[in-house]
């Protein structure tokens, strides 16, 4: 069962590898079935070059394993917490990509310095607070999801589809697994650009009117970027 969704989740995970966002067995992608609420995620500790669709693990919204012989990704509780609280998303990705993770390790949000950032993220990409010792020692992955949610109490998760977890790395999301991957790719690029921008001495944020223009021409009711025929 769930063979189509398992294939999609496999491809999302392999795309992380193709885009050089993961090495070894790091990272994970998942997708939620909009009809059943079930979540398919990669198995824990399986190399990307050996991964198969039939190895993907199916979980119910509470984390109970519905299908699959292997253990799910250890980050599954974080994914599930995001799905429970961000009802419009259908895919979640976590990586340890170098540039975004560098900002996470510094405990700093990724500022908006240019229109490349503004095309996908309507503001700085936030960095969560550090987890406490108690949060790490008790339900670490679930609490990782909780600190992400704290970062979005005053931030719209639709317009900023990603976050840095302090000392850990980035999580992104989207309407499905592949869009979550796309946001992970973009986040890595803008994290690199922001670092280089600061290295060159500029720390002036993008003007609000330019941020508005670039984000809103791609997103929302007045968007005009791209083709009406999505098959083109």
pLDDT tens-place values along the chain, 232 residues long: 789 999 999 999 999 999 999 999 999 999 999 999 999 999 999 999 999 999 999 999 999 999 999 999 999 999 999 999 999 999 999 999 999 999 999 999 999 999 999 999 999 999 999 999 999 999 999 999 999 999 999 999 999 999 999 999 999 999 999 999 999 999 999 999 999 999 999 789 999 999 999 999 999 888 998 887 766 5
User: Which one of 62, 75, 119, 157 is the catalytic residue?
Assistant: 119
User: Which one of 54, 60, 212, 225 is the catalytic residue?
Assistant: 225
**CA 130 to CA 153: how far, in whole Å?**
16
- pLDDT at residue 229 in the model: 72
Domain 3-216 fold = L-fuculose-1-phosphate Aldolase (3.40.225)
- pLDDT at residue 202 in the model: 79
* 49 a catalytic residue: no
Does this model's pTM top 0.85? My answer is: yes
Helix (H, G, I), strand (E, B), or coil: what is residue 129?
coil
* 224 a catalytic residue: no
| 90, 34 Cβ separation under 8 angstroms | yes
Structural domain boundaries in the chain: 3-216
- pLDDT at residue 1 in the model: 72
- pLDDT at residue 53 in the model: 97
Q: Which residue has the tokens 């398919």?
A: 40
- pLDDT at residue 42 in the model: 97
**CA 226 to CA 119: how far, in whole Å?**
12
**CA 81 to CA 201: how far, in whole Å?**
39
């Amino acid at each position: 069962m769930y063979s189509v969704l398992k294939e999609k989740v496999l491809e999302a995970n392999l795309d992380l590898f193709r885009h050089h966002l993961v090495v070894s067995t790091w990272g994970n992608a998942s997708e939620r079935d909009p009809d059943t609420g079930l979540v398919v995620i990669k198995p824990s500790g399986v190399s990307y070059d050996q991964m198969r669709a039939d190895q993907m693990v199916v979980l119910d919204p509470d984390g109970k394993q519905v299908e699959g012989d292997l253990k799910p990704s250890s980050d599954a509780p974080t994914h599930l917490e995001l799905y429970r609280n961000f009802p419009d998303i259908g895919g979640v990705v976590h990586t340890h990509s170098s540039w975004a993770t560098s900002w996470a390790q510094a405990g700093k949000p990724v500022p908006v310095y240019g229109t490349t950032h503004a095309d996908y993220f309507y503001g700085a990409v936030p960095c969560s607070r550090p987890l406490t010792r108690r949060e790490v020692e008790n339900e670490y992955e679930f609490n990782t999801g909780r600190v992400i949610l704290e970062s979005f109490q005053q931030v719209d998760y639709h317009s900023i589809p990603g976050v840095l977890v302090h000392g850990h790395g980035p999580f992104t999301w989207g309407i499905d697994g592949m869009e979550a991957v796309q946001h992970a790719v973009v986040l890595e690029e803008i994290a690199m650009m922001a670092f280089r921008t600061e290295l060159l001495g500029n720390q002036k944020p993008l003007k609000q009117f330019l941020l508005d223009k670039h984000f809103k021409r791609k997103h929302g009711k007045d968007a005009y970027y791209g083709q009406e025929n999505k098959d083109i």
